[in-house]
Every structure is written in structure tokens, then in C-alpha cells.
Amino acid sequence: MLSKKTTFGINGEIIIPGDKSISHRSVIIPSLANGVSEISNLLMSDDVIHTINAFKLMGVKIEEVKNKLIIHGLGLNSLKKPNKEIYLGNSGTGARLLTGLLSSQNFSSLLTGDKSLSSRPMKRIIDPLTNMNAKFDTTNNKLPLKIIGSELKKYNHIIKIPSAQIKSGLILACLNTKGKSTILENHITRDHTEIMLGYFGADIEIEKNSSTKKILINGKKELIGKNIEVPSDLSSAAFLIVAALINSNSEIKLKNININPTRNGILTALELMGANIKLENTRKLNNENIADIIVKSSILSGCELSESMAELMIDEYPILAIAASFAKSPSIFRGLGELKVKESNRLELIQLNLERSGVDCKINGDDLYIDPTKVSDIKNNKIKTNFDHRIAMAFSILASKKGDLLIEDSNSISTSFPKFKEIFNNAGGNLIET
């Protein structure tokens, strides 16, 4: 895909598709509930479709009726043994959450994924599940992963690597395990699983103090089907937000965006850089915080972000790096180690592609330095994405300001935002299929 400069800015009222994290959970949790759940604004991206297919394979009746997904849940312990492998494509969320869930079922299953997912670490979820007596067959702690379903024992977990995927996989295992299990977190991770389980009537309690959060789950309590309206995805909105900020003559309004406080670091970071962003109409939707977001072209300054910000916005560093590339002063983003084990090594690809685009950028350990005062012309217009959707979208936005960039393997964008090209072009973007 070729991404070119935009001429008249990014404008209009833009509808962003449903949140990816909440969409996965909006398939998984209703499938485990008793009764029917109707899901609207579900993100129909490749990752979520793989999760839907997984539950269909395990006997859950899932129908698409008039833009809604109707899920006929089977209850906590009635999934059927799939008659073939469960293929999860590119989805780390699908892989970690299903590993937890399937380890407590009374059948064995095999999880597989694409090249990127098959290289991502699974030990982080396998190890804590093993403490509950979960059994796996794996040669290198990666996919393909055979999960030997069995009755698990309750456990008091302490999360070592801050990750909502690990936490959520464990919660799903504890849900189908007799007795009270606990999960202790010392860092903030997104809490969509806890919020949705509370809404579906799970026996789940949260104890919070200033530095830790304890989740108490009393297993084997059946869930009750509920309707869900999935809020729009802040992570997808972030590409349009930065496009509007860096291109002059821009003003956009993004409606119903999820601003869950465990996820909204990108807004804090951009405001720190001087972005003109306003939130309107803040309210709750199925216990999630949402708002309409208004963004105008802005002169940005660089900023320094500590490691603790990474917990609140890990998926947004590729697009934040693009914002930083057009600021009037340098930025330092610290503690980005987890970026190395996402859909690609994002830290390395941000640095490589910014350098190709003529932006001065360095990595020091887990820290990223961007100096927009030292810019040159594009050195190599090929953007290497390693099939990573967020790298592809972030550099499309960079080109909207700077000029022609050829985004390699841009079909990866359908992982999270299949209508990105159409939506961005309708707002004034200039993306061309090559």
C-alpha cells in the first residue's frame, strides 16, 4: 500500500469500529454463560473472527443477525471437544485467554497460529497455570500448543509479568475451578475481563490499594447471558487522532470511544505534548467508560514518559512515535521492553522505519529516543512491517504528513481495523493500493 501526503487535513465525524480487547471478551464470556447474549458493534476483524470460529468449533451456536452477533451460551463446563485444531491467526489475546480457559475443560485441544503468533512467548501463561495442575504438551513453550484439559486446583497467583492477557487467561481458568482463587497484580493492566465478568454475574471481587490489586474468584458459579454494546476502540482511534494533530486544517470528532482508565495513557501522553483534545459526553456503557473525542491540529512538544506509562498504553507507542516525530522538541519513552514481544519486535521496527523516513531515533536498552529537530529526507521509502498491523497503520499516518511511503504487507491491518483505509481516506487521507 502506498501512503501519500494529505492536502486538506483530516476532518469530519468518524465512526471507529468496536474495541478489539472487549470484542474478544464479548465472544468468550457470553459463550460460557447460560442463555442468549446479543452483541452489537462487535469488531469483525481477523483476530476476533478467529475467536468466534474457535467457539463455534466447540459447539457454541453463534449467528450474525442484522449486524449483531447472537451467542447461545453453553454454560461454564459444557464446551465440546473441537474436532480439529483451533487456529488463532495473529491473535495473542486469543492464544493467552483460550489457553487459560481450555486448561480447565474436560477435553484436550490444540492451539495453532500464524508465523508471528507461533513465535510469541506462551511460558508466561503456561507457568502460572501449571501451578493449578494444568497440563500441556509443548516443545518450546510456543504454539502449536496442546492443552490437556483437566480439573484444576485453586491457587493464589502473584502476577510476575504485568499483562492483561496473562491475568485474563488465569481468571478464565479460575472461573471453572472449585473454590476461591486469587490473583495479585502489582502493576496496572487493562481490566475488561473483570468488568465484563461482574456484569455477567460471576462471583468476582476486587480489592485495591494504592499499589496492588487483588482479584478473588469463587469458581463454578454459572454466568447469566447479557447483551453487550461494544464501545469503539481507542487504540484504533489513536491513528486518526494523531493524523488530525499533525496535519494542519484538521478537526475530527470520534464518538463512543472507550476511555477505560487502565487503557487511556495515549490521551494523557498527547495532552502532555500540547495536543488539542477534548472529551465530551463522558458516560458508562456496560460498565465501561466512554466519551466522544474532539481533536484539532496542534503544535506538539516532545515529552518524557516513564515506564509506568507503558502499562497504560503499550499498543499505542508506534503511533505516539509518529506524533513525536513532528513535535518541536525531542521525546524519550522509557521502559518499552514488552514492545519487543508484540505482533513483531515493535521497538526495533519503529526505530528502523523512522530512520528510513529520515527521523532521528535511537534505542537504548528498553528506552526510545526521538529527535524531530534532526530530520532529513526519506532515505528508503519501504516500510518494513513484519506483518504487524499497528506498524503498518502508524507509518501510513507518518506519510500523510511527510510524503510517499510504501507500506509492505499492509493486509495485516485487517487483524484489528479492516476498514482503516476507507475510514482514513474518507476523512482526507491518501492511501492507495499498489
Catalytic residue numbers, as ranges: 315
Buried b (16+ CB within 10 A) or exposed e, 139-167: eeebbebebebbebeebebebebbbbbbb
Contacts with ligand S3P by CB under 6 A: the residue count is 12
Q: Does 185 bind ligand S3P (CB under 6 A)?
A: no
| CA–CA distance, 419 with 229 (Å, rounded to integer) | 19
Pairing of strands 251-258, 288-296: antiparallel
Task: Name the region of 230 (left: φ>0; alpha: ψ -120 to 50; beta: rest).
Answer: beta
Question: For residue 144, is the peptide bond before it cis, meaning its omega torsion is within 30 degrees of 0?
Answer: yes
Question: Which one of residues 50, 120, 157, 190 is an interface residue with ligand S3P (CB under 6 A)?
Answer: 190
Among 3, 26, 105, 163, binds ligand S3P (CB under 6 A): 163
Residues 65-124 touching ligand S3P, rule: CB under 6 A, are: 93
In the complex, the smallest distance separating the C-beta of residue 284 from ligand S3P, rounded to whole angstroms, is: 20
Q: Binding residue for ligand S3P (CB under 6 A) from 41, 51, 176, 189?
A: 189
> Which of the stretches 56-64, 158-166, 241-249, 391-399 binds ligand S3P when contact is defined by CB under 6 A?
158-166
Gap between the Cα atoms of 147 and 227, Å rounded: 31
Q: How many CB atoms lie within 10 A of CB 66?
A: 7
Beta bridge partners of 229: 40
DSSP 84-149: S-EE-TT-HHHHHHHHHHHHTSSSEEEEE--TTGGGS--HHHHHHHHTTT-EEE-SSSSSSEEEE-
- The smaller minimum CB distance to ligand S3P, of residues 69 and 427, is found at 69
Residue 165 contacts ligand S3P per CB under 6 A = yes
Total residues belonging to the chain: 434
Return the residues of window 389-408 that contact ligand S3P according to CB under 6 A.
Answer: none
Judge contact between 249 and 192, C-beta under 8 A.
no
Of 50 and 190, nearer to ligand S3P (C-beta) is: 190
According to CB under 6 A, which residues from 321 to 350 bind ligand S3P? Answer: 338
Closest approach of ligand S3P to the CB of residue 414, in Å? 15
CA angle 185, 25, 79 (to 5 degrees): 110
C-beta of residue 75 within 8 angstroms of C-beta of residue 222: yes
- 172's CB contacts (< 8 A; 6+ apart) are 28, 97, 100, 101, 104, 193
Span from 143-151, 163-171, 354-362, 402-410 in contact with ligand S3P (CB under 6 A): 163-171
Residue 233 interacts with ligand S3P (CB under 6 A)?
no
Interaction of residue 288 with ligand S3P, rule CB under 6 A: no
String marking each residue 21-50 x if it binds ligand S3P according to CB under 6 A: x--x--------------------------
* CB of 28 vs ligand S3P, minimal distance in Å: 11
Is 164 a binding residue for ligand S3P by CB under 6 A? The answer is yes
Q: Calculate the alpha carbon distances from 275 to 229, 240, 316, 323 in Å.
A: 29, 13, 15, 10
Stretch that binds ligand S3P, among 131-139, 161-169, 174-182, 214-222 (CB under 6 A): 161-169
Which of 255, 244, 423, 395 is closest to 318 using CA atoms?
A: 395
State residue 385 phi and psi, 5-degree precision: -110, -15
C-beta of 344: minimal distance to ligand S3P in Å?
A: 12
C-beta nearest to ligand S3P: residue: 21
Region of 4-12, 47-55, 157-165, 421-429 interacting with ligand S3P (CB under 6 A): 157-165
Q: Identify the H or E element spanning 181.
A: strand 180-185
- Does the footprint of ligand S3P cover residue 183 (CB under 6 A)? no
Q: Which is nearer to ligand S3P, 394 or 427 (CB)?
A: 394
- Minimal distance, residue 189 CB to ligand S3P, in Å: 6
Per CB under 6 A, residues contacting ligand S3P are 21, 24, 93, 163-165, 168, 189-190, 314-315, 338
